[in-house]
Structure 1
Amino acid sequence: MGSYDALLVVSFGGPEKPEDVMPFLENVVRGRGVPRERLLEVEAHYQRFGGYSPINDQCRALIEALRAEVDLPIYWGNRNWHPFLEDTVRQMAADGVRRAAAFATSAYAGYSSCRQYRDDIARARSAVEGAPEIVKLRHFHDHPGFIAAMADHTREALSRLPAEDAERARLVFTAHSIPLSMAATAGPEGGLYEAQLRTACELVAGELGREAFDLVWQSRSGPPHVPWLEPDVCDHLAELAKEGVESVVLVPIGFLSDHMEVIYDLDVEAAAAAEELGMRMVRASTAGTHPRFVRMIRELVEEPEPAACPATCCPAPRRPAAAGADQRSG
């Protein structure tokens, strides 16, 4: 395919047994000054599910689906847990890979969602003698394959409501909150993370014939004194209840798989909030292994090489504690 001789899937990683959880979280927050109490709080989220995050199995499922679409060797490396990216790049070099396309499991611009993956790749390559050239594929927030997958999953969620409720249900899209300082520097001119998310929401809502929707935020994990994107999804549900909204479809547009932040922050916390408010709530699936989404990845590999990202784009946050314990987590 094109000038690539391999495809590399780059993801966040996640623990797969109870004893993995704290070492994984320590990897995530290393150098960020996140309080121990916050780590223990997030650890409890994972231990509630047996110390297991579904993200690694979901990466395996995506790779298996890709094998039927992509006529290239497929490799997989994580930022924070096994298989670590550096180990994967070392294996690629040993296998004679010379030039690989990298698909990162995030659709949007931003430090944690894009720049940090670029830095991860550069760091892994610098540590491996004879490392292949690795080209990160472009953002795909508005790609028809991603939009079609999310529209299908949202339709399915609506179908789980009684017909009358489905017609009146409010579409509430969710994405990972980030510090306002990070949001302001996302993309060459800033603000691109939020702008791309809003575009994706508009496109999915348009596929469903809906004009009205809300974009809200979830999974904030930074210190209280640092301002982050708001409103939080649970706070927003409370406001909707005051407006008389009775049914809500949560659409995790900011995530590609149903990993820990989705199944805990939405399926546990937001679901409990909705129940307390007397509100019907259903949650749409993430893109996952939807056939149109899988085909999208092949189409990205077949595109001309994306333009180089400016070095000043999406810089690392200045405050070490600004990126929280479970941002983009598994």
Structure 2
Amino acid sequence: MNILVLFSYGSLRTIDDVAGFYDDIFHGHGTAEQIEKGVEKYRALEKAEALGSNTYRIGRFLAKRLQQITGEEWETFVANHHASPSIEEVAKECAEIDPKQVVTLGLTPFDSVTGKNAYESRFAKKFRAHHTSTTIVHATSFYDNQLFRNVIVDRAKTAKQWLKEEVRNKAEIVFTAHSKPGTAAAHQKMINEYNELAKHIATELPCEHYHIAYRSGQPAPQRWLGPDVLDVISELAERQVSAVIFIEVLSVIENLEAVEEVTKDAVAKARSLGMEAIQSEYLNDSADFVEALVDHLCRELGI
């Protein structure tokens, strides 16, 4: 058997998982009020949480496609940073299966020292503690996969076309990604990948003026990557930009935090300042996105 492990920040499958998710985020020190507030946010969605539902569907489809392509058996696991099953729990379970090989894949397009790269190290350490011979393949980031780029450009063009004709060609792009703690030097690889993808999308759209922004940064004294997306919106308003297209390029699968900070807060602020505003769609489990992931995995595995 071959195993595919999908890394996730926190793919929740039931409302009962939310309390543990928030408690883990607060390192076991979350107050009852903080945790209940988090539970209420998820309850207010009135549907299954999108990151979890889409991640598990993507996993099932990738296993099916890899089995068709290789003629071998594949099983998928989702390993979470802040939810159950954790990265360590999944690593131990995979080792006990004694697979032919293990392939890991992060469902965000960039390398990150505190995200994808850290998850890989945690998984490998735990897996090797129980199993020393099975090959582990950590699939590289897919920001430069051409099929993936085609998908995200398609969503950007769809968003631009939706704008009023009178402002459509005046629109500027604001790219967003979850901020990271630390200096730019500590995250240079991710920043370079982010800049390269943004430039490609803007060129293909085409859009002459685009801006790199971050969300979820925390206040001083800890340093976080910037500029903050809300500050960028204020600057655009001062320049009397008439329309803006928001494109979230890190969380390509919908999740509560991205929806709150981009789909709601950023769009609402732009509109309150007199701009037409729209966000490109999340990729979720769309057929073209999943096929891009299949293509990326096949290239990584040489099949």
Q: Which interval holds the TM-score relative to the shorter structure?
A: 0.7 to 0.9
Provide the rounded CA distance (Å) in 1 between the counterparts of 2:163 and 2:286: 22
Q: Give the match for residue 20 of structure 1.
A: 17
For the pair 1:244 / 2:240, whether they are aligned, the reply is yes
Q: Give the match for residue 70 of structure 2.
A: none
- Structure 1 unpaired stretches of 5+: 307-330
Q: TM-score, normalised by structure 1?
A: 0.78
- Contact 2:176–2:229 (CA<8 Å) still a contact in 1? yes
Q: Deviations over 1:22-46 (max 9, x none)?
A: 3202223428x88998777766644
Give 2:186's aligned amino acid: T
- Contact 1:125–1:132 (CA<8 Å) still a contact in 2? no
Give 2:165's aligned amino acid: A
Q: Which of 117, 120, 123 does residue 122 from structure 2 map onto?
A: 120
Q: Give the match for residue 70 of structure 1.
A: 66
Provide the rounded CA distance (Å) in 2 between the counterparts of 1:194 and 1:35: 34
Q: Give the match for residue 207 of structure 1.
A: 204
Give 1:282's aligned amino acid: I
1:100-179 aligned at under 5 Å gives the runs 100-126=102-128, 128=130, 132-179=134-181
RMSD: 3.0
**Which structure has greater helix proportion?**
2
Q: Deviations over 1:71-106 (max 9, x none)?
A: 251312222223333443444445441212111112
**Which segment is superposed worse, 84-93 or 285-294?**
84-93
**Which segment is superposed worse, 136-145 or 76-85?**
76-85
SS in structure 1 opposite 2:176? strand
Provide the rounded CA distance (Å) in 1 between the counterparts of 2:172 and 2:149: 19
Give 1:291's aligned amino acid: A
Cα pair distance change 1:178/1:37, threshold 3 Å:
farther
SS in structure 1 opposite 2:196? helix
Number of residue pairs matched by the alignment:
296
- Contact 2:139–2:300 (CA<8 Å) still a contact in 1? no
Q: Deviations over 1:131-155 (max 9, x none)?
A: 8432110111121122111101111
Q: Give the match for residue 193 of structure 2.
A: 196
Q: Which of 67, 83, 86 does residue 84 from structure 1 map onto?
A: 86
Q: Give the match for residue 49 of structure 1.
A: 45
- Structure 2 unpaired stretches of 5+: 68-72
SS in structure 1 opposite 2:246? strand
Q: Deviations over 1:255-297 (max 9, x none)?
A: 2201112211112211321232122211112333343432232
Q: Which of 200, 205, 216 does residue 213 from structure 2 map onto?
A: 216
Give 1:297's aligned amino acid: L
